[in-house]
Structure 1
Amino acid sequence: MSSFSTQLEGKHALVTGGTKGIGRAIVELLLAQGANVSYCSRSATDNDFAAFLDRSKPSGTASGTSVDISSPSSIETWVEKAARKFGRVDVVVANAASFSTEATAESWRTSFEADVLGLVSLINASTPHLEKTSGSIVVVSSVAGFETRFDVAGSPYTTFKRAQATLAKDYARKLGPLGIRINSVIPGPIEAPGKVLPDGSREPSRIQTLKETNPEYAQGILDAVSLRRFGTAEEVANVVVFLASPLAGYVCGANVLVDGAMSTFL
């Protein structure tokens, strides 16, 4: 019987949208498990996790890059540079997404380029590297793409978040024969900390902002959660890292809900 270890020490993970919220929690947990992490966001730098690395002193290291996820060439360049730097790619976490709720033609176009084409570009650029390591991909979707109770229903965000989960399911049939696993995680309402600002403070989370600007609506969301609380970024990260690791070696094509039993679909 094998020990209950993620077996990620010395492995190399790519994480998009890794500087705040769920993405930041994923990067920190991967680092804590001994993985090297290449992360990106629109404004990422190499210093985003300096305090965490100094405090926790994990065996892995973090490397940040500013990347436009709507640009296939930017994604391809980032993946190739990261693969060369660490000599391999074992895990890819697709967490970055635009949060567009405007139903304008321009919003639909830009969101599609980032959330759908960006995801496809990331998968395609990573596949040759993941095939060498029998690696895994985890796509972070959202319950907002499945539950129409949200006020953002009918927006690019909800539509393409559902599309991301569908892509993960579909790609499982394509990538499985190559030895690559792909799954998606579908978080519910998560009270995740915002980006760390230069003065050490944090941007307010979307849930925090909603509580302040529309407390009745925030309470309505909470009432729909069976556990009667918002989730945390760390709780989502735990599931993501499990799926990314060899512990989930026979899990492929799964869409895993992390929503406190909020959703009503199977």
Structure 2
Amino acid sequence: MDLGLAGKHALITGSTAGIGYAIARGLAAEGASVVITGRSQAGVDDALRRLKEAVPEAKATGIAEDCATAAGAQAVFAKLPAVDILVNNLGIYDRKPAFEIDDAEWQRFFEVNVMSGVRFTRHYAPGMAQRGWGRILFVSSESALNIPREMIHYGMSKTAQLSISRGFAMELAGTGVTVNALLPGPTHTETTDRMRAERAKTAGKTVAELEAEFIRDFRPTSLVRRFTSADEVAAMGVYLCSEMASATSGAAVRVDGGVVNQIM
């Protein structure tokens, strides 16, 4: 199936690893020119090396800026004035008991997970609308609907992304620009795998045991009964960025292994 991505230009924020990197690699494999972003030049260079090893024909470049800040976003805009596809993947998460989350931490999660996507969408969407084609994807989470007790500040930020993506989709109605949210569930990424390995070592357990306990105790509604891979999530993300997804806008599309216990 030709996804119609050849010749399109895509920007993926926070894409040196994990789901963002997997989406960038998937878009590149479909013929899109991709721009990877990360906070350090070394991280960006390493991601580009891995991407070009995986997809030798890839058309890929990178920008080293902190996309979580207004200044970093402006620096990216100066280097890359326009794109056809925007993937707002940048995000942070951390487990913390609810009553230990102070004001600064609430504000940090909102600034990074919410405002970064607002800034990038606000800059790139008008140009997409003028050209009559565009794709904007917010990488949210099943935690937007299934608020995690262990990190409610993260859940708050992901719920906000659903409102924002739907609102921008409404604003862009009839322009040829679609805006959607992608909702992964528990997913294997470099960062989360490292964190689980550290927790398993501290607890004197194997990673497999820790993951099984997490699914049992924290995500018991999971239908696949396992963590998904970043590539499984990226496959849906790439589709939503494609020409084939032209009739899907304003949607919250789950790739959560069935964690959210609802039919819509």
TM-score, with length taken from structure 2 = 0.85
Letter in 2 for 1:171: F
1:41–1:52 distance in 2 versus 1, CA, 3 Å: closer
**1:251 to 2:245 alignment:** no
Residue 209 of structure 1, CA deviation = 4.7
8 Å CA contact retained: 1:70, 1:110: no
Q: Deviations over 1:151-210 (max 9, x none)?
A: 4242x211011111111011110012332110001111112234xxxxxxxx83445555
Residue 133 of structure 1, CA deviation = 5.1
Partner in structure 1 of residue 207 of structure 2: none
- Tell me how far apart the structure 1 counterparts of residues 154 and 39 of structure 2 sit (CA, whole Å): 18
State how 1:67-146 maps to structure 2 within 5 Å: 67-83=65-81, 88-102=82-96, 103-131=101-129, 132=131, 134-146=133-145
Question: What is the number of residues matched between the two proteins?
Answer: 248
Identical positions, percent: 29
Q: Deviations over 1:2-41 (max 9, x none)?
A: xx31111121100011011111111111111111111212
State how 1:5-24 maps to structure 2 within 5 Å: 5-24=2-21
1:32–1:205 distance in 2 versus 1, CA, 3 Å: farther
8 Å CA contact retained: 2:221, 2:261: no
- Tell me how far apart the structure 1 counterparts of residues 164 and 85 of structure 2 sit (CA, whole Å): 17
- Tell me how far apart the structure 1 counterparts of residues 54 and 141 of structure 2 sit (CA, whole Å): 31
**1:173 to 2:170 alignment:** yes
Letter in 2 for 1:227: V
- Tell me how far apart the structure 1 counterparts of residues 54 and 176 of structure 2 sit (CA, whole Å): 36
Q: Give the stretch that moved more between structures: 233-242 or 177-186.
A: 177-186
- Tell me how far apart the structure 2 counterparts of residues 119 and 251 of structure 1 sit (CA, whole Å): 19
8 Å CA contact retained: 1:169, 1:254: yes
- Tell me how far apart the structure 2 counterparts of residues 77 and 107 of structure 1 sit (CA, whole Å): 25
Partner in structure 2 of residue 204 of structure 1: 193
1:146–1:210 distance in 2 versus 1, CA, 3 Å: farther
8 Å CA contact retained: 1:191, 1:208: no
- Tell me how far apart the structure 2 counterparts of residues 210 and 169 of structure 1 sit (CA, whole Å): 36
Unpaired stretches in structure 1, ≥5 consecutive residues: 195-202
Unpaired stretches in structure 2, ≥5 consecutive residues: 204-209
1:176–1:46 distance in 2 versus 1, CA, 3 Å: farther
Q: Deviations over 1:50-94 (max 9, x none)?
A: 133135312x322222222332232133134124xxxx5110001
Partner in structure 2 of residue 164 of structure 1: 161
8 Å CA contact retained: 2:17, 2:47: no
TM-score, with length taken from structure 1 = 0.84
1:62–1:46 distance in 2 versus 1, CA, 3 Å: farther
- Tell me how far apart the structure 2 counterparts of residues 163 and 262 of structure 1 sit (CA, whole Å): 19
Aligned alpha-carbon RMSD (Å): 2.2
Partner in structure 2 of residue 234 of structure 1: 231
Q: Give the stretch that moved more between structures: 39-48 or 241-250.
A: 39-48
Partner in structure 2 of residue 56 of structure 1: 55
Partner in structure 1 of residue 33 of structure 2: 36
**1:220 to 2:217 alignment:** yes
1:213–1:252 distance in 2 versus 1, CA, 3 Å: farther
SS in 2 for 1:107: helix
- Tell me how far apart the structure 2 counterparts of residues 26 and 127 of structure 1 sit (CA, whole Å): 20
- Tell me how far apart the structure 1 counterparts of residues 199 and 71 of structure 2 sit (CA, whole Å): 36
Letter in 1 for 2:88: A
Partner in structure 1 of residue 146 of structure 2: 147
8 Å CA contact retained: 1:152, 1:158: no
Q: Deviations over 1:189-239 (max 9, x none)?
A: 112234xxxxxxxx8344555555562335434643111221111111010
